[in-house]
Structure 1
Amino acid sequence: MMRTLKKLLFYGGAALAFTYGCLTAAPAWADEPKPDSPLVVTIDYSLDTVGIVKGGAVRRAQTLDHLSLGLDIDLDRALGLGGFSAHIEGSNTSGGAPGERAGALQGVDNIEVSARRLRLYQAWLEAGLAQDRVNLRVGFSDLSGEFATSDASGFLLNPSFGFAPEFAASGAAAFPSTALGARLRVAPTEATYVQVAVVNARAGVPGDDGGADFSFNDGEILVAEAGWTGNGRVTLGYWRLSKKQDDLLTIDSSGAPVSRIAEGAYAAAEQTLLKTEDGARTAVGFARAGLSDGRTTPFRASFQAGVLLQPAVSSRPESTLTAGVTHAWLSTAYRGAEAAAGNPLARSETVFELTYSDQLTRNIRIQPDLQYVRNPSAAPGARDAIVAGLRINIGF
């Protein structure tokens, strides 16, 4: 354990020192006001050092990173197309697989991916109509950024706080590979909205094996959500695949898997729990619960909850402290299939996370993170894992 912890501190500290030294010596023009332009370029880079301090499958520190290069275009100012805008974003991922080493079904790091490569992550055209009460987006877009979201959980690194595991397991377009689709959002009042999306069920973008898919041979994912955003936020949503999926366990008389409709629903809420009289410090609570059909994906349901405190330190206005818990239940079909293969599983896996984030400079944010994975992989007898991490984020 001590050897892994030393490696984690060494690699994380070295990366922080190098990054801080390079970027605090920013050129004078970095602070000059930018000209009013219809084009906005953004660069975002995250470098994570993650180590399994105790338990898990393998105790070892690893590094992984994600580089994003984005271009936003105001088509009104650029071409005179009132209400229109466009977004193009490339993504490059590399590094280790700490979730696998921890043995965590839900993972431990939201930039960990199975394939390390350069991709076109998002590319969409958006139109705002009726004073932006009606908004239409068409192209390759990440569903997890618009459906079942919670702003207060945004700093937590475990992937389940971003996209609920039972929804993500449906194949819905999300990081790192999106899919072609359309999303329509209508806001009848300032505090209410309804949005729907139709997206290719087969995720794929240029840079993936096979590239982007335009055939829609796997059908579509249909998502609908209604929300209230007054003093807090409450959302209700439903998703469904248009094409039936194979049951993970049940077979018909010919020995072929029975076809089922894959579908699910979710509810989420976010509310300010505490606010000082001067408004300088707030505590925001969040909760989300999701349920799936439980026959076509590994996860039957999940629940996430937590609290965000900002600022965490009074003298550090950009500092945050977030504590969260995510609990995922495995589906009966998945457990049955695993048991038939000689791999019996328990019912669920739980992850507790505590993370602190602080803006060191205008461009650099640092984030130490600690996770406790209880019953990793829902495997009987599996050792609970303690995972320590450090994220350095650089943004321009």
Structure 2
Amino acid sequence: MFGLGLVAGYIGLVQMRLAHADSGTVLTSLASLRDHGVMLHVQHTNEMQAMINAPTPDQGLKKGVGNVGIATYGADIDWERLAGAGGISTHIVLASGYGSPTSHKFGDYLTPSQATYGGVGNVVIHLVSAYVEKSMLYDRVNAAVGRMTFLSDFSANPLYCNFMNASFCGNPRTAADNKAHAAFPMSNWATRARVQISDVLTAQAGVYLTETEAIYTHHQTRTGFKFNGATIDGMALPVELAWSPRWGEKRELPGRYKLGFVYDTARHDSPFQTGSGQSLYLTDGTPRRLKGSWSTWVMADQMVWRFQGRGRDAGLTVLGVAYWNSPRTQLRKAQYSLGFLMRGMMKSRPADAIGLNASWVQVSRSVVHAQREAVRRHGKLPRHGRFPQDGGGVIEAFYQMHVWRGVSIAPDLQYYINPGLQPGLRNQLLLGVKTHIEFI
């Protein structure tokens, strides 16, 4: 309830300011709140999906339908406009979620077919983030501190959440393999600084205190309002360089290119080895504890064709990602994806969009060898899955129909290759629909 109280307090301050204004300037609409520096936003996303073909037989799996949804509520307050506090703003996001993804039904617990699944703890309100931001030197330097989500700040691209599958939405799914990288809707105590080096070049870095043993546990982070530091076990230190050129004779083709790296000091469980150096798949030992890990990434989106006169975002944009994890500490060592997003292709429907994306994930070679050896010796994996893991991919296509401002419906088609990165599981075809409503 603290988060709701904070939002209410913000609105109260605006009302006090309006009460002292001339009657002719008193505005009661959301537009008037924005004029005074208060941006409230509410949105809801629902993702329903059905399996088209039957799952792998004799594995306890069953064909079915999954439905997942999330609502978020937030406030962005510009305190310079509201109270004359130069360059200061505050941000808070709350969430409520429900449902279970269809991918669990055919044996994939690594990559949810519906990205809005998970993390909100089955509570009415979950605190996602709450932080203070300060802009300086004519907005060329920006610093933030508070409860922040690592993967909302780094290796992120808002274009990807036009897609439904967690391989794409928000971040490459491989980025969340490391628990030191808090993924939406989780957060850590953190600070971040961003510098606008030139009109097209931006650099950012941060310090995110990690809680790898507690971040996805109900006893510690179920509501998001438990702020103690008892479970802090290290820090993640990311850096990212972003280049945003505009190509074409009229500079009408925008692009964004990101290069990033992160090192963390937390301890991680080895995905293939016990503390005594034996195979984790051949003994009952506990995983070896390893200190420190790293990840690096390259991301790009480039508009290559502009549909003139159909809106700022109308055109064909190519999307590409390469993400690498330390194979010593993470199951997924690499992910590569390539796709496109096209908006405004029909003059009569300039806000509609069509998208296609394909992703492939590679498993750490050490994990592959350890699992295959366990199957060769014992004929099965004793604790860790149905079949040896190797690699797998997801292909997704959608058509997003703009109904009216802030409302869209998107029929969606997905195809899983080696679900759960297990070549022994049947490939799966899924048909679904994503609805999105937002008020800003």
Asked if TM exceeds 0.5, the reply is: yes
Q: Distance in 2 between matches of 1:49 and 1:87?
A: 30
CA contact (8 A) 1:50 1:388 kept: yes
Corresponding residue for 1:126? 133
Report the 3-state secondary structure (helix = DSSP H, G, I; strand = E; otherwise coil) of the residue aligned with 2:162. Answer: coil
Deviations 1:115-171 (A, max 9, x none): 433311111110111111111111122222221123442301111212223321111
Query: Alpha carbons of 1:62 and 1:230: their partners in 2 closer, same or farther (altered >3 Å)?
Result: same
2:127 and 2:225 in contact (8 A); partners too: no
Instruction: Give, in whole Å, the separation in 1 of the partners of 2:74 and 2:308.
Output: 39
Q: Rg larger in 1 or in 2?
A: 2
Q: 1:185 aligns with which of 194, 199, 203?
A: 194
Alignment of 1:168 onto 2:176: yes
Task: Give the deviation of 1:379 after TM superposition.
Answer: 2.0
Structure 2: tracts of 5 or more residues without a match: 1-26, 56-60, 247-254, 278-284, 375-380
Equivalent residues in 2 for 1:216-255, closer than 5 Å: 217-231=232-246, 232-251=255-274, 253=276
- Whole-Å separation in 1 of the counterparts to 2:411 and 2:151: 24
Q: CA deviation at 1:214?
A: 2.1
- Residue type of the alignment partner of 2:395: F
Contact in 2 for aligned 1:372/1:385 (Cα 8 Å)? yes
| One of 76, 81, 100 as aligned partner of 1:77 | 81
Is 1:354 matched with 2:397?
yes
Helix, strand or coil at the partner of 1:262: strand
Report percent identity of matched pairs: 23
Aligned residue for 1:360, secondary structure, equals strand
Q: TM-score, normalised by structure 1?
A: 0.85
Q: How does 1:245-284 map to 2 (within 5 A)?
A: 245-251=268-274, 253=276, 257=288, 259-276=290-307, 278=309, 281-284=314-317
- In structure 2, what is the Cα distance between the partners aligned to 1:253 and 1:207? 34
Match of residue 163 from structure 2 = 156
How far apart, in 2, do the equivalents of 1:392 and 1:251 lie? Answer: 45
Distance 1:55 1:238, change over 3 A: farther
Distance 1:165 1:32, change over 3 A: closer
**In the superposition, relative to structure 1, how do residues 365 and 261 fare at CA in structure 2: closer, same or farther (>3 Å)?**
same
Give the 3 Å change call, closer, same or farther, for CA 261–333 of structure 1 in structure 2. farther
Q: Paired residue for 2:337?
A: 304
CA RMSD between the two structures: 2.5
Q: Cα distance 1:79–1:165, how it changes in 2: closer, same or farther (>3 A)? A: same
Q: Does 1:98 align with 2:102?
A: yes
Comparing 301-310 with 354-363, greater Cα deviation is found at 354-363
Letter in 1 for 2:115: N
Aligned match of 1:365: 408
In 2, the alpha carbon distance for the partners of 1:187 and 1:300 equals 32
Q: Which amino acid aligns with 1:143?
A: F
- Displacement of 1:353 in angstroms is 0.3
> Does the 8 Å contact 1:272/1:283 carry over to 2?
yes
Cα deviation, residue 248, structure 1: 2.2
Cα distance change, pair 395–90 in 1 and its aligned pair in 2 (3 A): same
Structure 2 CA distance for partners of 1:311 and 1:102, relative to 1, 3 Å: farther
**CA 1:326 to 1:271, structure 2 compared with 1: closer, same or farther past 3 Å?**
same
Which amino acid counterpart does residue 382 of structure 1 have in structure 2? Answer: L
Question: Secondary structure in 1 aligned to 2:349?
Answer: coil
**Which residue identity does 1:201 align to in structure 2?**
T
Matched, 1:54 2:53: yes
Determine if contact 1:150/1:286 at 8 Å carries over to the other structure. no
Partner of 1:145, secondary structure, is helix
- Unmatched 5+ residue regions in structure 1? 1-28
Asked whether the 8 Å contact 1:141–1:181 carries over to 2, the reply is: yes
**Could you give the per-residue CA deviations for residues 69-100 of structure 1, whole angstroms, max 9, x where no partner exists?**
10111111222211110011110111123221
Closer/same/farther in 2, CA of residues 206 and 251 from structure 1, 3 Å limit: closer
Change (3 A) 1:211 1:100: farther
Q: Which has the higher contact order (CA 8 A, sep 6+)?
A: 1
Q: Do the aligned partners of residues 32 and 166 (structure 1) sit closer, same or farther apart at CA in structure 2, a change above 3 Å counting?
A: closer
